[in-house]
Amino acid sequence: MTELRELNPGGRILMGPGPSDVHPRVLRAMSVPLVGHLDPDFLKIMDETQELLRHVFQTQNRLAIPVSGTGSAGMEACLVNLIEPGDAVVIGVNGVFGERMCDVASRCGAQVSRAEAEWGRVIEPEAFQKAMAGKKAKLVATVHAETSTGAHQPLPDVARLAHEAGALFVVDMVTSLGGAEVQVDAWGIDAAYSGTQKCLSCPPGLAPVTFGPRAVEALKARKTKVQSWYLDLTMVEKYWGPDRTYHHTAPITMNYALREALRLVREEGLEARWARHQLNHRALAAGLDALGIRFWSQEGHRLPMLNAVVIPPGVDDLKVRKALLNDYHIEIGGGLGAGKGKVWRIGLMGESSCRHHVLYFLNALETILAAEKVKFERGAAAAEAAAVYALAIRSARSDPRYA
């Protein structure tokens, strides 16, 4: 039998579409001794985690819990609990994860209508209005941060249209939560889900979910059982609520990790965290522009934590990504769907969103592209990014709040 040594997969700088780098405090939290899932100490941790989730979602919803499973489990949890067979639903589709919502909804027996836009672009409110016309939709759903394209979908107008039509508004926040402004209550979002491994910088394995009062009422008014036993929130919420009714054994260690990751978010401050992601995005964009690399996603609607850029003509996608990984230990993502072989997806999520990563990546990419005979001014990429940081420092020093 082959000898199996201790795990040592090697250090990586995670700059892909997720997972992101994890803070040492989160890793330490995962080494804390286990207790039972109904132990009084763990029940307290559950309450604290819910409070922290309400903060990051910016909601007063009582139901704000981490579902056991990855972000896709959060998607399923929202849709299987709110959709019954025959329900009309409208889903925004401008990338892979809008397509995935359509697939899940159809498996729930929904009559799905699509509000579509070209990949890389956001979906205009008129497209949702057209898709809702003549239908009594039970819910309207869309992706806030489309990880496959880098498009940053505006939400308030879509929420208004959904509510005017008497529908619930459901949002995929897997990539945006903790890295871009999210206002569940203020924007009129009835249900939302996310994942732990993106801007929350926690290992994958939990899916934060929140249901507002209208979604809870819809859940209570169901005429049929929820399609999934494991994700049935009528039962799961009784474990997370005051009854503490056993449903399934919670992943204890992952909940430790999420609590610590959310504690880091609160310590930094939401607005400061959003601003950090924007600053590093601007610096990266300036450096990429110096290399002649343009964005795939729509101008004015680009995600700060997921930068989808067009691969320069004649450059081998896989060769560059392999060189980044093998020579510099940097992971970035390739394109999905319509972007496969055409797009790089560069993540600046949570702990991975920092000046060091931006400058190191730009210098590495410049060296690799120079070997591929791409023409640009050597040293300009890092210099342009550094100029963005310098301007931000000068602006902060001149701000009277910091005088």
User: For the chain, which domains are there?
Assistant: 24-267 (3.40.640.10), 270-402 (3.90.1150.10)
Cα dihedral: 382, 386, 388, 391 (round 10): -160
Task: State residue 403's pLDDT score.
Answer: 44
| Residue ranges in the chain whose pLDDT is less than 50 | 402-403
